[in-house]
Structure 1
Amino acid sequence: METDRGAYPEARTPWDDPAWRTEALCWLDAELARLGIRETGPRRVRVRPWSIIVRVEAASPVWFKAASPGSAFEAGLNAALSRWVPSRVLEPYAVDAARGWSLLPSGGPVWRSLSPGPREWESALTQYAEFQLALVPRVEEMLRLGVPDARVAALPELFDAAVAENRTLDAADRGRLLALRPRLVEWCSELGAVGVPDSLDHADLHDGQVLVTGGRYTFFDWGDANVGHPFCSLLVAADRAAELHGASVVARLEDAYLEVWTGGHTLRELRRAAELARRLSQLTRAGSWGRLFPAAAEIGDPERAAALLRLL
């Protein structure tokens, strides 16, 4: 098998444990046999501090994914999403929710490979907003699946934990963050008062996390997800769109996304909510970097610190 460790060649993960590797590959082999999938080439392995992915070559490629313990909810969440909103996510061939393992089909080309323009970004964000709106009644079910709780009321507590636990913040930066806390509480109160309901926040939505077939967008890779303010998903998406098409495109794309949420709210209110959510979503980004495999956890601390400091 070819193994890609990316920018983290020294990160220790379960892939380095022969017993774990044997157990995982036996599960994969058994599921492939159950499905009658015949392999046509060597397997390729992608090892990162937050997940392990094995690409199985077949008539249509198949993907095994093992999430870190902090993201183990992803397997069960993906299975639930495929029942609740089947047109918007991949339907897994198999999941082991207890171990955070999934076996997933291919779902069309990755959106990034098609070089999407602003019009395609509008369409994708509109469909994503519709997907989030459909999940509003599922909030409690998602929490029971173990999806992290990053609802607005919980953000000050998440902030406190992130600042206290980070080992790379120096005294000056820690003091600046602690001084920010009263303002952060005010932002949370203002955002909550707008009244947009909680939903699923992907927390890392960009053109490499979307598949597209015939104008229909499929969203995948839920390891960073949380239950929280839906507009927090705009942070990464807007940054990526601006990187590709310039900062002037962001307002246009944001308005296309927000239009889905206008029932009972003015666009002006929603724009302010989006501004607040983008800032506060740095907390969920920090949280994502805390969900690495335990032996690789120290890799996440500098990234968590950087996200926290972007709150300032």
Structure 2
Amino acid sequence: MGRPFSERVAHDDWRHTAEQWVRRELANRDIEVVGTIEQPRIRPWSTQLKVPTATGTVWFKANCAHLSFEPLLQAELARLAPDAVEAPCAVDAERGWMLTRDRGTTLGDAVEPTVDDWCRILAGAAALQRIVAGHEVTMLATGLPDCRPSTVVARYDRLLEILSALPEAHPGHVSDDLRSQLVAVCGRVADAAAELDESSLPTTWQHGDLHPWNVFAADGRLFDFGDGQWAHAAEILSVPHAWITRQDTISWPTVLEACADAWDVTPADLASQQRAAAVTQPVNRTLLWWGCLQEATAAEWTQWGDALLQHLTRVLEP
């Protein structure tokens, strides 16, 4: 794959090319850049440029190859549900680049989210999932990874093969003992995938990392779609469930009931699907991390590589 992503995007030549594209795309929309373009963050999987303009801040985002589908995905989500997702100002699909307008503070930065906030977030996400569910062809055409339940068992087997073959010192290495434990629950993974394949909720887009810092406070619109997958709808609940159950202030059953109402199913039905999705989602999440780190430096693998086993071993939880 060549030079690591974070090294490429930190180089002056890359910055010059990216800023030229930004200025050209904004000029084509009669938007003037009025100050210094800053690069506030670089990660192994993405970077952002903060662009001051005469009409407010615009954000440029560049993704690694595995997440390069995000600009087209966001554009398609915005086309299907313009009230829920902001359309990018400009997209370069080949390079995985896009420009979006600043929509202000995130919900997580604005307040300590309440149970009502979480109910609105998940009910809104469910409404978006229902809209998108009937658009499989256009969703997958953006490059969104296909992680539907019927693909999970083969993915699990392949990840075990890949991670077991890594050097012992690698942070993602699956030892012989851990491999035995993971092989022993293959039936659990297969049963969960089969249950979801026959469930009342569909396969659709799922955000992948839905939390209050990926929701705008002003209007509740979602953003940061690079972790998205085409998967069972209930997999979107895994991240919120982890956030909420780490606190004592939010009632998860109340939030689940709001989400069930948005899907027109019973809370018991949705809870059953959530339990099955809690087995398939770790497999799909591990795929995400594996892809994100393919362009990482050795130091970044050391920092982030343990995420592979942190997620995959969640299939062992009761």
TM-score (norm 2): 0.88
| Pairwise CA distance, 1:40 | 3.9
SS at structure 1 position matched to 2:119:
helix
The percentage of counterpart residues that share the same residue type is 27
Contact 1:73 1:147 in 2 (8 A): yes
Corresponding position: 1:129 with 2:126: yes
Distance in 1, matches of 2:98 and 2:248, equals: 37
Structure 2 Cα separation of the partners of residues 25 and 40 of structure 1: 13
Mapped to 2, the partners of 1:248 and 1:127 lie a distance apart of 18
Matched, 1:202 2:196: no
Specify the alignment match of 1:279 in structure 2. Answer: 279
Deviation, 1:21, is: 3.0
1:303 paired residue number: 307
Give distance in 2, aligned partners of 1:297 and 1:272: 40
* Change in 2 beyond 3 A, CA 1:11/1:68: closer
Question: Of 103, 108, 113, which residue of structure 2 is paired with 1:107?
Answer: 103
The answer (yes or no) to whether the contact 1:194–1:273 under 8 Å persists in 2 is yes
**What is the TM-score of this pair, normalised by structure 1?**
0.89
Indicate whether 1:65 and 2:61 are aligned: yes
Residue 182 of structure 1 is matched in structure 2 by: 187
For structure 1, which segment, 39-48 or 135-144, has the greater mean C-alpha deviation from structure 2 after superposition?
A: 39-48
Pair 1:54 & 2:59 matched: no
Q: 2:37 aligns with which of 36, 43, 48?
A: 43
Alignment partner, residue 5 of structure 1: none
Alignment-derived partner of residue 219 in structure 1? 222
**What is the deviation of 1:162?**
1.7
Q: Could you tell me which residue of structure 1 aligns to residue 20 of structure 2? A: 26
Aligned 8 A contact 1:203 1:284 in 2:
no
**Which blocks of at least 5 consecutive residues in structure 2 are unaligned?**
167-172
Cα distance in 2, alignment partners of residues 56 and 136 from structure 1: 34
Question: Does the CA-based 8 Å contact 1:290-1:297 persist in structure 2?
Answer: no
CA distance in 2, matches of 1:18, 1:113: 32
Is residue 2:18 matched to residue 1:16?
no
Helix, strand or coil at the partner of 2:227: coil
Shift of the alpha carbon at 1:285?
1.6
How many residue pairs get aligned? The number is 298
* Aligned: 1:241 with 2:261: no
Helix, strand or coil at the partner of 1:150: coil
Q: Summarize deviations over 1:184-211 as a string: whole Å, max 9, x none.
A: 1011112222232111111111011111
- How far, CA to CA, are the matches of 1:60 and 1:37 in structure 2? 9
Alpha-carbon distance, 1:284 to partner: 2.0
Q: Is the 8 A contact 2:36 2:52 kept in 1?
A: yes
Q: Provide the C-alpha distance between the structure 2 equivalents of 1:294 and 1:19, rounded to a whole number of angstroms.
A: 22
> Quick one: distance in 2 between partners of 1:297 and 1:242?
34
Is 1:171 the counterpart of 2:167 in the alignment? no
Q: After TM superposition, give the deviation of residue 18 of structure 1 in Å.
A: 4.0
Question: What is residue 170 of structure 2 aligned with on the other side?
Answer: none
CA drift of 1:41 comes to 3.6
In 1: Cα distance, 2:197 partner to 2:9 partner: 42
CA deviations on 1:230-255 (whole Å, 9 max, x unpaired) are 11011111222233x42761121112
In 2, Cα distance between equivalents of 1:104 and 1:95 = 9
- Residue 263 of structure 2 corresponds to which residue in structure 1? 261
Q: Tell me the SS of whatever aligns to 1:292.
A: helix
RMSD between aligned alpha carbons?
2.0
User: 1:91 deviation in Å?
Assistant: 1.3
Is 1:139 paired with 2:140? Answer: no
Output the CA distance in 2 between the equivalents of 1:281 and 1:247. Answer: 25
1: CA distance, partners of 2:139 / 2:20: 29
